[in-house]
Amino acid sequence: MAQKYEVRQMQQTQQVKPNPYENALEQLRIAAGYLKLDEGVHQILANPKRQLTVSLPVKMDSGKTKVFTGYRVQYNDARGPFKGGIRYHPGVTLDEVKALSAWMTWKCSVANIPFGGAKGGIICDPKQMSQGELERLTRRFGAAIAPIIGPYKDIPAPDVYTNSQTMAWILDTYSTLEGVMTPAVITGKPISLGGSLGRDKATGRGAVYTTVEAAKVNKVNLKGAKFAVQGFGNAGSNFAEILQTYGAKLMGASDSKGSIMSKTGMDADKLIAHKEKTGSVVGFPGSQQISEKELLQMDVDILSPAALENSILPDIAKGIKAKIVTECANGPTTPEADKILHGNKVFVIPDILANSGGVIVSYLEWVQNLERNYWTVEEVNSMLEKKITSAFHDVHEASVKHDVDMRTGAMIVGVGRVAEAVKTLGVFP
């Protein structure tokens, strides 16, 4: 019996993942040390400005009423209105949303756009819900957070398992309550409602632009370079599709249903079509199924974790062979794993830089909505490339100056700018 109890305890210990908010605070602490932050400013930056928890009664298709829990965390607005996505996932927790809102704050600062950081989430399983149930849940949530969002207050956007349709429902709900159509209240909308051209691929495209710069720094020839993507969703699939136009070859991919690899490489466009048809990358012709750990530790030049947070734990990090890790996901690498990767000379493009393309184009969408002036996709992509490339070099310069990894460099840049704004504003009253 004692042996069985020990086995159960060991299994439970293995399943416990680090608290993402604790990870975020540890990253902040490290940056604060390099910046020699005033303790009071550090405390302000270590705490969200506002946390809203809402109960969401929804009438299901069965006729029964189910109550969901939703969150909106507004972290810091010293540099501009709160900005951040809304995710639907059964694993959503308040600490996760707090961490994501903190990372959004630093991300907007690193990109040097005039936004603060926020994040939202609803504990639900959208894969088990009908379109009607999702619409009723979304509109209920939109009404619940309406008092604290707005074009100059807080501008939500899509995230995990939400999309342009979700944003359209929130836009309509908010505009109905306000009595006036207000497209600038939300980004990631359909084009017909004021969405920006290029927004659908912005996160993946921005990650590619940072990878191009990282390849130059690390003398990696993208033509013929091998890469793998963990999480073949919107960001991951677009990253793969765009990166292969530079001559890189996709060797492995995964989604929530499994991981695959091919010794000869896979065409990203064909894999996207296969997933749209079957619902998963698994079963792609010419591929073989592998474990997620094997995928992350493939012998490739570039690895992109594009799934959920805490994917790269210390035991995974020890076996990563990629020269460059481009974090399309939010918080995929734990601080302990970071140290291992840095020690092994793996060049990590941190999430708050690598996946900032989405929020950069969200900013461009917001500006277009406010001005009622819309740009071509070529203009949007050009502005995205200019902004994210500039951000990459700001971060790289900071990492070289302080002799630290790119994540710490990004935190030094991002936290430093927010801290300067907080100090300049002062404390009211």
Residues taking part in catalysis? 119
Taking the C-alpha atoms of residue 335 and residue 313, their distance in angstroms, rounded to an integer, is: 9
d(CA 139, CA 58): 10
Task: For residue 176, count other CB atoms closer than 10 A to its CB.
Answer: 14
Q: Residue 52: name the closest of 128, 151, 156 by CA.
A: 156
The tokens 């949530």 sit on which residue?
Answer: 141
β partners of residue 333: 312
Among the residues of 94-233, which ranges form H helices? 94-110, 131-145, 164-178, 202-217
SS (H, E, C) 224-280: CCEEEEECCCHHHHHHHHHHHHHCCEEEEEEECCEEEEEEEEECHHHHHHHHHHHCC
Q: What is the Cα–Cα distance from 269 to 327, expressed in whole angstroms?
A: 21
Return the H-helix or E-strand segment holding 377: helix 377-402
Question: Which sign, positive or negative, has the C-alpha torsion 117, 208, 394, 195?
Answer: negative
| Rounded Cα gap, residues 146 and 112, in angstroms | 27
Q: How far apart are CA 146 and CA 118, in angstroms?
A: 14
Of 1, 18, 159, which Cα lies nearest the Cα of 87?
159
Residue 214 neighbours by CB under 8 Å, 6+ apart: 220, 324, 326, 347, 349, 392
The tokens for 74 are 């507004």
- Residue 226 pairs in a beta bridge with 249
SS3 321: coil
What's the CA gap between 174 and 284, in Å, rounded?
42
384 near 196, Cβ under 8 Å? Answer: no
Residue at token pair 């990631």: 188
Q: Which two tokens stand for residue 138?
A: 């979304």
